[in-house]
Amino acid sequence: MADNDKIVAEKKEENRYYKWLASMIIPVLAVITGLLVGAIFMLAIGRDPVQAYIVLFNSAFGSLNGFAETLVNTTPLIFTGLAVAFAFRTGLFNIGGDGQFLIGYIASTWLGFFFQLPLFIHLPLALLGGMVAAGLWGGFAGLLKAKLGVHEVITTIMMNYIALYLVSYLTGGPLKASGFMPATPKIADTAKLMRLLPFGRLNAGFIVALVAAYIVYYILWRTTLGYEIRAVGLNPNAAEYGGIKAARNMILAMFISGCLAGLAGVTQSLGLEFRAYQPFGFIGYGFTGIAVALLGKNHPAGVVLGAFLFGILQRGSMLMQSIAGVPKEVIEIIQAIIILFVAAEYLFTLLSNRIKKYRKETSDVN
Amino acid sequence: MHEDANFAVEMINITKRFPGVTANDKINFQLKKGEIHALLGENGAGKSTLMKCLYGLYQHDEGQIFINGKKVEISSPNIAIKYGIGMVHQHFMLVPPFTVAENIVLGSEPTKNFMIDRKKTVEEVNSLSKQYGLNVDSQSAVQDISVGMQQRVEILKALYRGANILILDEPTAVLTPQEVDELIDIMKSLTDEGKSIIFITHKLKEVKAIADRVTVIRNGKLIDTVYTKDTTTNELAKMMVGREVILEVDKDKAEPGEVILEAADLYAKNNRGLTALNGCSFNVHKGEILGIAGVEGNGQSELTEVLTGLRKLEKGAVKLKGKNISSFSTRDIIENGVGHIPEDRQKRGLVLEFTIFENLILGNHYKFPYAKNGKMNYNKIKASARKLIKDFDIRTPSENVMAKSLSGGNQQKVILAREFARDPDLLLAAQPTRGVDVGAIEFIHSKLIEQRDAGKAVLLISLELDEILSLCDRIAVIYEGEIVDILEQEEATEEKLGLMMAGAENDKAKGDDTDGR
């Protein structure tokens, strides 16, 4: 029996390696299926899917400029994807990415135009200031959850609307630049993220995103905070038993998650727009971030890859529409299919775990 | 074709496979009409699987089943019921707010004009209860009656559906010794009325006391079927485990020192907001094992949680080495020298999706040498894990294996290793041997005694009276959140403890108290 245990456990360990490979299979299959279903839709409306997909491919990989633009599209999705993934590791569902995005967006812009400082102070101030403001916004939802038990899904959704109308009011009123346009003044040059190429819009925000992904990895698997966060996320009862304060970790995790989503807004302002425009609605980076995290299995490396894929699709959809005459809704269908398949896999594993557990329980009884 | 109608049940060459394991390997099992037949084996030996094949919950892969000499295919419990098979599960399946009678007829209610015929229901249930001497009050709600009574309701449920063959799955696990005696009487009267009974158990003493014959299963294989009168508990133990087992725990007299833990007048609520600890008081000394005996649900879980800072103490005080720790956080309590083996290892004791090395530092994870300035040192953590795996004989190929892929006994050893590595002054062991195999039980028991002999205090909370009686130097009995009395090991007998656990002594003791004043 003991030897048996050993063999079973050995097999399980071997499994870890091709489990990692296997974990890639479903996302890849989901993408392929998504593209195939997209092709069927294109055929149904009389468009040529092959041509459309060539356009899609070329939009990202056909030219250096195209590739750089794709990375621009990828940047905010890395941030919001990381935000969702990080909260999820604590067992929390941060749907507030869009609100935290807006808070980061407005706070960094204000810091950008209000102060006149040398670059090496001004840029970090605007970057970190915007980030922390969004972190506090997200952390507040964590506080409500930890202290009063209010569900974070409810609070983060509601705080999205508070953020939307707050930023709308600020950009249209107190922080509005003179003129007709409902937007803030432009930020100082000292607060701008530098461009990485002589052409196009690719900026240091992308580097910040990659650094953020590494930091998230480091926090989760190399620090005591990460250990505690993962323990709380996987088994709050055991964490509590081990003297880990779930409440403290929830607040902290939501703060960090808010910081990450906020950086999407910060780089939007400091790297691309250089001012904050009045929002008419949510851009939806927060929601796409959920899909990115799902696709990336809540792992920072997976999130970066997932964000890149969605970046390609988002940029490609515009070109597909103008060149191949394929409505950009087709791309949305493809995205939806991918999410559906990845989510279905979760459902599948959930189900098979249930069955295993049931079998185990019933055979344990003897 | 088997035509032997002397057997109520005959199972021939039953094989049942699950992915990766053969739970039943060509097992033969025969139940004579009118006998009580024990099915004995360790956790995971395949006893329940075999019975689930008989009851139609599982489909066997190979083999045949005969009921009263006729070959049958049992593809669902409904068909099993049709053949007169009834099963009483370990965890009762009753609707608490319904009355006893309602629960018994549930699913096959007598009706009159599309309405439940309540009068008939009660009459039928009463006559059935009388016939077998079960003595249940058919009109009271199930939630208001004792666990022993609830079990009788389950038995009546099966009888009401016309069961002639009863399968009882670990029926004594939830009962006090006195209730067990009553159950034995009931089982005897059932067989007198011509019923045949299979009862699943891993307790040797019960086999001797109840069964006519016993079938022993080990690792999914049939070991033997013998008459209980021709065998001894030691022989049975050997058959069950596959080697000599030391049933008696070998230990010297305790040399208790000063008080380590002082629990004074503890009050606490359970998860439903009802009083669970109702003025609970006791002391644990250095160098002794204090046992807390009691029927499940009398405040044991809440007591452990209060002592470890996991549950709010409403009133009273907990003192550790003279220091009041009543309002300490769990982390502070751990820091002050308390080790805790929780009653539910999968829910509390382990993060199943963590590796062994991650689990081995839970609670110490922020301390040097495992961590420094908030940064984990996984080299040190893994090195210490490898040592603990060796010291505690945790059967695993490496420290990188997920806790969930270990067997129950090895999971428990991970917890044990972690808590002992802290070198606690007080070790709180709640049901440390629940659901682990005999080998691991011996190991855990010897470790607890080792701890005691090293001059530490051990508080053992267990539902297994045998474990309490053999390990503990003093035995406290908990009943409805109160310590009824504390006995020295020498003066404690199963009978005495049983009465106290059922609350009988409690009322008497209270009466004496008031008399004395």
By residue count, chain B amounts to 517
Antiparallel, parallel or unpaired: β B474-479 and B482-488? antiparallel
Please tell me the predicted confidence (pLDDT) of residue B18. 80
pLDDT value of residue B234: 84
pLDDT digits (tens, 9 = 90+) for A162-175: 999 999 999 998 99
Place of tokens 């989901």: A30
Q: Give DSSP secondary structure letters for A46-71.
A: T--HHHHHHHHHHHHHSSHHHHHHHH
Give the pLDDT of residue A235.
93
Rounded to the nearest angstrom, the minimum Cα separation between B506 and chain A is 33
The sign one gets for the Cα dihedral B304, B309, B313, B319 is: positive
pLDDT of B460-492, one tens digit each?
A: 999 888 889 989 999 999 998 999 999 998 898
Cα dihedral A290/A183/A164/A330 (nearest 10): -40
Q: Specify whether B408 is located in the same domain as B511.
A: no
Per-residue confidence at A356, pLDDT binned at 50, 70, 90? low
Report how far residue B405's alpha carbon sits from residue A10's, in angstroms, rounded to the nearest whole number.
10
B208-223 tens-digit pLDDT:
888 999 999 988 899 9
**Residues B207, B137 share a domain:** yes
* Residues present in chain A in total: 366
Between A95-104, A310-319, B24-33, B299-308, the lowest mean confidence (pLDDT) is in A310-319
Q: What is the mean pLDDT of residues B158-173?
A: 89
In a domain, A30, yes or no: no
Looking at the fold, whether B269 and B357 belong to one and the same domain comes out as no
Select from A1, A223, A234 the Cβ nearest to the Cβ of B375: A223
Residue B453 lies in a domain: no
Among the partner residues B349, B397, B400, nearest to A241 by beta-carbon distance: B349
Domain boundary among B219, B241, B263: B241
pLDDT at A366 over 90: no
- What total of structural domains would you count in chain A? 1
Instruction: Please say which residue of B212, B241, B270 terminates a domain.
Output: B241
Q: Residue B128 domain-assigned?
A: yes
User: Which CATH number goes with the domain that contains B512?
Assistant: 3.40.50.300
- The pTM (predicted TM-score) of the whole model is 0.78
Do B48 and B182 fall within a single domain? Answer: yes
Among left, alpha and beta (phi > 0; psi -120 to 50; other), residue A64 is alpha
| DSSP reduced 3-state for A262 | helix
- pLDDT category of residue B1 using cuts at 50, 70 and 90: very low
pLDDT in tens, B234-272: 888 888 888 777 666 777 888 888 999 999 999 999 887
pLDDT one-digit tens code per residue, B407-461? 778 899 999 999 999 899 999 999 998 877 777 888 899 999 999 999 999 999 9
- Is residue B301 included in any domain, yes or no? yes
Residue A289 lies in a domain: yes
Contact A47, A324 (CB under 8 A): yes
Based on the structure, what is the number of domains in chain B? Answer: 3
* Beta carbons of B407 and B413 less than 8 angstroms apart: no
Contact A84, A296 (CB under 8 A): no
Say if CB A301 and CB A210 are below 8 A apart: no
Residue B93, C-beta contacts closer than 8 angstroms, at least 6 positions apart: B154
Mean pLDDT, rounded, for A123-135: 97
Whether the predicted pLDDT of A4 surpasses 60: no
Instruction: With CB atoms and an 8 Å threshold, state whether B23 touches A363.
Output: yes
- Indicate yes or no: CB of A241 within 8 angstroms of CB of B362: yes
Q: Is the pLDDT reported for residue B511 higher than 50?
A: no
Q: Does the beta carbon of A356 lie under 8 angstroms from any beta carbon of chain B?
A: no
pLDDT band at A258 (very low <50, low <70, confident <90, very high): very high
Reported as a pLDDT band with limits 50, 70 and 90, residue A353 is low
Q: What would the DSSP string read from start to end of B64-79?
A: EEEETTEEE---SHHH
- A13 to B400: CB separation less than 8 angstroms, yes or no: yes
A7: amino acid identity, one letter: I
| Residue A352 sits at the chain B interface (C-beta within 8 Å) | no
- Stretch (H or E) spanning B222: strand B221-227
B219, B207: one domain: yes
**B6: three-class secondary structure by DSSP:** coil
By residue range, what is the domain housing residue B349?
343-423
Residue with tokens 């908030």: B374
Contact A101/A122 with Cβ under 8 angstroms? Answer: no
B43 and B146 inside one domain:
yes
Q: Tell whether A323 is covered by a domain.
A: no
* DSSP 8-state class, residue B402: B
Q: Which of B54, B88, B351, B396 to mutate to test the interface with A (most CBs of A within 10 A)?
A: B351
The amino acid present at B171, given as its one-letter code, is P
d(CA A47, CA B239) in angstroms, rounded, equals 75
* Average pLDDT value over all residues in chain A: 88
Residues B264, B193 within the same domain: no
Out of B52, B331, B397, the one facing A10 most closely (by C-beta) is B397
**For position A352, what pLDDT does the model report?**
67
DSSP SS3 for B283? strand
Contact between chains at A238 and B347 (C-beta distance less than 8 A): yes
Banded model confidence at residue B139, pLDDT cuts 50, 70, 90: confident
pLDDT of residue B319 exceeding 50: yes
pLDDT number for residue A211: 97
Q: What is the mean pLDDT of residues B381-410?
A: 89
Nearest CA in chain B to A222: B376
Query: Which pair of structure tokens corresponds to residue B146?
Result: 């004792």
Phi, psi for residue B18 in degrees, rounded to 5 = -115, 160
Contact A142, A249 (CB under 8 A): no
Please indicate, yes or no, whether residues B266 and B192 belong to a single structural domain of this protein: no
Residues in a beta bridge with B278: B267
Give the whole-angstrom CA distance, residue B13 versus residue B69. 16
| Percent residues over pLDDT 90 in chain A | 60
C-alpha distance from residue A131 to each of A111, A139, A196, A209 (Å): 11, 12, 22, 12
Rg over CA atoms, chain B: 25
Residues A296-307 have a mean pLDDT of 93
Q: Same domain for B119 and B205?
A: yes
- Pick the closest to residue B239 from B224, B229, B228 (CA basis): B224
Q: Do B330 and A12 touch (CB under 8 A)?
A: no
Q: Which of A322, A124, A84 is CA-nearest to residue A216?
A: A84
Residue B418: both structure tokens together: 């972690």
In a domain? residue B506: yes
Task: Indicate the DSSP class of residue A322.
Answer: I
CB contact, 8 Å: A235 with chain B?
yes
Mean pLDDT of all residues in B139-151:
86
**Rounded alpha-carbon distances, angstroms, from residue A366 to A280, B43, B57, B211, B482:** 62, 5, 14, 17, 32
A228–B contact, CB cutoff 8 A: yes
Domain identity same for B332 and B374: no
Confidence check: pLDDT of B515 > 60: no
pLDDT one-digit tens code per residue, A50-85: 988 898 899 889 889 999 999 999 999 999 999 999
Residue-wise pLDDT for B72-112, tens only, equals 999 888 899 999 999 998 778 888 889 999 899 887 777 77
Strand B21-32 versus strand B213-218 pairing type: unpaired
Averaged over A150-154, what is the pLDDT? 93
B86 sits in which H/E element:
strand B85-88
* Closest-CA distance of chain B to residue A241, Å: 6
Question: Are B410 and A5 a contacting pair at CB < 8 A?
Answer: yes
Residue finishing a domain among B190, B217, B241: B241
Using CA atoms, how far apart are residues B386 and B389, in angstroms rounded to an integer?
5
Residue A198 lies in a domain: yes
A24 pLDDT above the threshold of 50? yes
Please give the structure tokens belonging to residue B125.
């249930």
Helical ranges in B164-221 per DSSP H: 177-192, 204-210
Q: How far apart are CA B340 and CA B502, in angstroms?
A: 27
Query: Residue A244's domain spans which residues?
Result: 75-310
pLDDT (0 to 100) of residue A178: 86
Asked if residue B224 and residue B133 are part of one domain, the reply reads yes
pLDDT on residue B148: 83
What letter represents residue B337's amino acid? G
